[in-house]
């Protein structure tokens, strides 16, 4: 009788092929992105409230460091962020109402412009049928409605204002104990604490830089438009400020409405002057100077910043365009910074590939001298803890 062969026992863990791991990761990413896009109406305001909470968190911490009650810091932070939202939404709503009142008056002006275009084409030797074919697709109401569409999308970003305000309140309440929570996380999982600190620090730096340059651009644009006699200069100044948070192409989005209104109000000469002034002011500040400071503050290359704009705009709509850089920093923290074995990718997506400066006293957040900005140190970049 033949003996039954003994079963083969393999020692060691079963290794999944690397290609299969990549395919599973891609499939999981597609499912996750699809879920985020499907629930963008809810996730968008939640992410906006998160970014605003991260931005005002230092106010709460400073109040607590002075020995004052934590609830006082919560109130200070809430009043700061609520004031900003109320002022922005108020100016946009009032200005949009004024614009809606003024736009119907420009219908005849659009007809006159189209008549002038037909005459110019006829003088250039274009026959009547070709002129009709070229201009048949131009609808007067659609042409005037471009301005309304831009403002409607912009105000739609703040359409869930009550939801955002409620979330800010709850997050601010949780922020009163955030220092203790982060201390516990740092003790148990220093890698996770580093990643979250890096995200918060990069987000605050980006918001500070964008806000400062946005105010500069808004002041210059508003004064220039007022001096040139373009209607509603305050509205277009606020639009320049908001679109400054949109990387790379925010300047173009802020240019189109005032240029069209200048064309309708005073003709092509004023429109050309608006375009020239915006190109001189906004291109110099937003496209030349600001990206350098943004890249230095968040550590993202220009290409990654632009791709993040395209991706988050597709996923979350207009709100994704405004939050493209902070959301990219959040994904970077959760996917790269949280694991020391994947931090090599920072050299590929950063603007310089430089390694962040180290701090000799642990990885917690601390204020830099003279600027009040935090910095974080990577766990594992220094000697192991005892």
Own/partner pairs, 349-356, CB within 8 angstroms, 24+ separation = 349/299, 349/300, 349/301, 349/304, 350/295, 350/299, 350/300, 350/301, 351/295, 351/296, 351/299, 351/300, 351/301, 351/302, 352/295, 355/381, 356/299
Residue 375 φ then ψ, to 5°: -140, 155
Q: Is residue 26 a part of any domain in this protein?
A: no
Instruction: Identify the residue with better confidence: 298 or 373.
Output: 298
The residue-averaged pLDDT of 279-306 equals: 74
Q: Say yes or no to pLDDT of 202 above 50.
A: yes
Looking at residue 118, what is its pLDDT? 63
Q: What pLDDT does residue 227 have?
A: 92
The CA distance from 297 to 210, in Å, is 11
Residue-wise pLDDT for 259-268, tens only, equals 888 887 887 8
Characterize 125-144 residue by residue with b for buried, 16 or more Cβ atoms within 10 angstroms of its Cβ, and e for exposed.
eeeeeebeeeeeeeeeeebb
| CB distance 60 to 133 below 8 Å | no
Task: Please tell me the distance from the alpha carbon of residue 102 to that of residue 99, in angstroms, as a whole number.
Answer: 5
From CA 72, how far away is CA 60, in angstroms rounded? 8
310 falls within a domain: yes
Instruction: Return mean pLDDT, the chain.
Output: 74
- The total number of structural domains that make up the chain: 1
Residue 271 has pLDDT above 80, yes or no: yes
The percentage of residues in the chain with a pLDDT greater than 90, rounded to a whole number, is 2
Range of the domain at 172: 40-375
> How far apart (Å, rounded) are the C-alpha atoms in residues 230 and 349?
41
Q: What is the pLDDT of residue 162?
A: 74
| pLDDT tens-place string over residues 83-94 | 888 877 777 777
**pLDDT (mean) for 173-192:** 83
Section 279-292 average pLDDT? 75
Residue 321 has pLDDT above 80, yes or no: yes
Average pLDDT over residues 306-333: 87
Helix (H) or strand (E) holding 171: helix 161-175
Q: Give me the percent of the chain exceeding a pLDDT of 70.
A: 68
pLDDT digits (tens, 9 = 90+) for 8-46: 445 455 667 777 877 888 888 888 888 888 888 888 888
Asked if residue 9 is part of any domain, the answer here is: no
Q: Which pair of structure tokens corresponds to residue 201?
A: 């620090």
Is there a domain that residue 381 lies in?
no
121-171 residue pLDDT tens: 666 655 566 555 555 555 545 555 555 565 565 555 555 677 777 888 888
Q: Is residue 34 part of a domain?
A: no
Contacts of 301 (CB under 8 A, 6+ apart): 295, 349, 350, 351
d(CA 334, CA 344): 14
Q: Provide the pLDDT for residue 133.
A: 57
């Amino acid at each position: 009788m033949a003996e039954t062969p003994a079963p083969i026992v393999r020692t060691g863990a079963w290794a999944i092929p690397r290609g299969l791991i990549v395919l599973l990761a891609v499939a999981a990413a597609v499912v996750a992105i699809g879920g985020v896009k499907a629930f963008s109406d809810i996730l968008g305001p939640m992410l906006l409230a998160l970014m605003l909470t991260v931005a005002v968190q230092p106010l709460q911490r400073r109040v607590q460091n002075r020995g004052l009650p934590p609830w006082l810091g919560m109130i200070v932070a809430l009043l700061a962020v609520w004031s900003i939202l109320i002022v922005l939404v108020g100016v946009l709503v009032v200005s949009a109402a004024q614009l809606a009142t003024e736009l119907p008056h420009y219908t005849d002006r659009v007809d006159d412009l189209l008549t002038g275009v037909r005459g110019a084409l006829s003088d250039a030797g274009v026959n009547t049928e070709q002129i009709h074919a070229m201009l048949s697709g131009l609808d007067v109401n659609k042409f005037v409605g471009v301005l309304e569409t831009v403002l409607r999308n912009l105000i739609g970003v703040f359409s869930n204002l009550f939801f955002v305000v409620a979330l800010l309140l709850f997050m601010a309440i949780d922020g009163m104990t955030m220092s203790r929570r982060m201390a516990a996380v740092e003790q148990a999982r220093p890698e996770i604490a580093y990643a979250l600190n890096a995200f918060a620090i990069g987000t605050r730096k980006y918001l500070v830089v964008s806000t400062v340059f946005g105010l500069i651009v808004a002041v210059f644009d508003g004064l220039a438009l007022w001096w040139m006699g373009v209607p509603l200069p305050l509205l277009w100044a606020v639009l320049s400020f908001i679109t400054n948070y949109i990387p790379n192409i925010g300047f173009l989005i802020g240019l189109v409405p005032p240029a069209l209104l200048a064309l309708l109000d005073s003709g092509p000469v004023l429109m050309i002057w608006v375009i020239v002034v915006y190109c001189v002011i906004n291109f110099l500040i937003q496209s030349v100077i600001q990206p350098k400071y943004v890249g230095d503050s968040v550590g993202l290359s220009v290409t990654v910043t632009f791709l993040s704009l395209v991706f988050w705009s597709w996923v979350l709509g207009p709100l994704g365009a405004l939050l493209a850089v902070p959301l990219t920093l959040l994904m970077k923290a959760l996917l790269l910074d949280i694991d020391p074995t994947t931090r090599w990718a920072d050299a590929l997506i950063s603007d310089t590939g430089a390694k962040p400066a180290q701090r000799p006293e642990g990885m917690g957040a601390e204020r830099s001298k003279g600027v009040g900005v935090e910095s974080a140190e990577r766990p594992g970049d220094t000697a192991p803890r005892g």
